[in-house]
Structure 1
Amino acid sequence: MTMFATSETVQIIDDAENLAHMIICSELGEQYRYFYHILKNDREAQQVISEFVKAKDQFEDVQRFGKYHPDYAKIRKEMRDRKLVLDMNENITNFKKVERALQKLLDEVSVIIAHEVSTFIKVPTGNPFFEQSCSSGGGCATGGSCGCKTR
């Protein structure tokens, strides 16, 4: 199906851009940019991140062989130690906290928009809280036979 630009589709795109601008200008958007800037300019945090990524890459390489790799336990411990240092860094923690909050907001907005169109639209949020559960096991494409609210 070819979609032609109509005044209605242009208005929808404008409204989407306005919504994005509202999110960017929100307190949460401001916090995200603030903590992002702090994190990017924190040399110590960048070093911690770099060391963790290296340890994680090493672990992924040896994980293919599992406990049979001669350095598996040593590299796994190194990665866990680097992860602990990463989690203890205040600037990294602050950024991750606001990043999760912003992701939650974006997930909520996506679900609201999708379900206003149809409850059958699946939104890949990656968050089980937003997944619709259906006791029939047939998913929400059963036409409401599972007890889901349908439009």
Structure 2
Amino acid sequence: MLATMEIVDILDQSESIGKMVMDSEVMQNYQQAKQELASDPDAQKLIQDFTDMKDQYEDVQRFGRYHPDYSIIMKRVRGVKREMDMHEKVARYKKAEREVQKLLDEISQSVAFSVSEQIKVPRNGMVFTDTGCGCGSGGGCGCAS
């Protein structure tokens, strides 16, 4: 019975943390930036252009430099991405997104370290960034894991 009550208490506390995150200024800024991005037709056009160009990029990537349009597509992709990233609403949204990720990483670290300092926690939105690429293959991909 005690273990069950402990689990219920942990679930209640985790719900409380979740509510605090959702009510935080960081999350409110993120929600506002997301809404502004979704309602801006210019930003949406840039995002759609990038998505279309990304499809072409993925086709070219299958063949690499041997694809006849490799140089052209690579230049276009970089140009379209740069144009999208430079748009004010896209940049604001990405910044707000990074802030939410930072908050979640800090919460994860706080919870993990309250149990043990030896627990590895996600940082910068990636699991175990201090061990290489974080792929989890144990170095099988040739990374520094």
- TM-score under structure 2 length normalisation: 0.80
CA distance in 2, matches of 1:21, 1:114: 19
Post-superposition offset of 1:121: 2.3
- The alignment-based identity, stated in percent, is 45
The structure whose Rg is larger is: 1
Distance 1:93-1:121 versus aligned 2 partners, 3 A rule: same
Give the conservation status (yes or no) of the 8 Å contact 2:108–2:122.
no
Q: Does 1:60 align with 2:54?
A: no
Post-superposition offset of 1:126: 4.8
Distance 1:26-1:126 versus aligned 2 partners, 3 A rule: closer
Give the conservation status (yes or no) of the 8 Å contact 2:84–2:90.
yes
Residue ranges of structure 2 left out of the alignment (5+ in a row):
132-145
- For residue 6 of structure 1, what is the aligned residue in structure 2? 4
Give the conservation status (yes or no) of the 8 Å contact 2:57–2:77.
yes
- For residue 149 of structure 1, what is the aligned residue in structure 2? none
- For residue 28 of structure 2, what is the aligned residue in structure 1? 30
- For residue 73 of structure 1, what is the aligned residue in structure 2? 71
Give the conservation status (yes or no) of the 8 Å contact 2:27–2:100.
yes
Instruction: State the Cα deviation string for residues 29-75 of structure 1 (Å, max 9, x = none).
Output: 11011111111111211111111111122112111211111000011
Post-superposition offset of 1:5: 6.8
Q: Does 1:48 align with 2:46?
A: yes
CA distance in 2, matches of 1:95, 1:75: 26
CA distance in 2, matches of 1:45, 1:121: 41
Distance 1:93-1:72 versus aligned 2 partners, 3 A rule: same
- For residue 123 of structure 1, what is the aligned residue in structure 2? 121
- After TM superposition, which residue ranges in structure 1, 4 or more long, deviate above 6 angstroms? none
Give the AA of the match of 1:125: R
Post-superposition offset of 1:124: 3.3
Post-superposition offset of 1:112: 1.3
Residue ranges of structure 1 left out of the alignment (5+ in a row):
134-151
Post-superposition offset of 1:102: 0.8
CA distance in 1, matches of 2:124, 2:88: 26
Look up the SS of the partner of 2:98 in the other structure.
helix
